[in-house]
Amino acid sequence: MFNARAVWAILPPDFNHTIKYSIGAVAEVLLKTVQNFLSGGSNTLKNIFPSFSEGYFNADVKRELVSRGWCPSEVEKAQNTIDSLQLLHVARMMDKSLPKRNHSLCTDVACNACQINMSDFKLQHTNKECLCGQLFVNPDTLTQILKDGQIPLLRLVGNLDNMEAEVIPSGKDTPFIAISQYVIS
């Protein structure tokens, strides 16, 4: 199974990408199985075998990902953080074309597709004093929870006409619902 690297070394540069990395994927599965056996299933032996993911993101794969809606910064991040061929293959199959975003101004280090130009952005409130939809929290309480190494949670109190937000520390028995505004572009 260590011969997969030797096979790779003799392959011509224009060898079929899919076949080459399929050989690597099989080797990776076998090596992970050996690693798991040697560690007794405890995952204590991490990265004792070389990764086969190096070079997976060639120009064609990068173009394919961008055509599927990936931001160039996401491609770069995946290339630098994922070292499993199985994970890379699954990631490669992900279609991120919806919602439609324009990544033409994005770079390898920054996504500019979802940025808001604050000089053009206007809040749609009826008057300057309008606070509808805005909840405020005590920043001192939030800071102390973070300093204590806990995750802050919001507890919404009241009803839709009169709602307040309290910041409370998380606990192992504290039920919560995670809400995220982050959208993977």
Task: Please return the burial class of 128, using the count of CB atoms within 10 Å of its CB with bins 0-12, 13-18 and 19+.
Answer: exposed
Look at 39-43, 63-67, 125-129, 155-159 and tell me which has the smallest mean pLDDT: 125-129
Residue 184 has pLDDT above 60, yes or no: no
DSSP element (H, E) containing 79: helix 72-81
Residue 167 forms beta bridges with which residues? 154
Q: CB of 49 within 8 A of CB of 31?
A: yes
Q: How many CB atoms lie within 10 A of CB 78?
A: 20
To the question of pTM greater than 0.85 for the whole model, the response is no
Domain ranges of the chain: 3-93, 130-175
What pLDDT does residue 185 have?
47
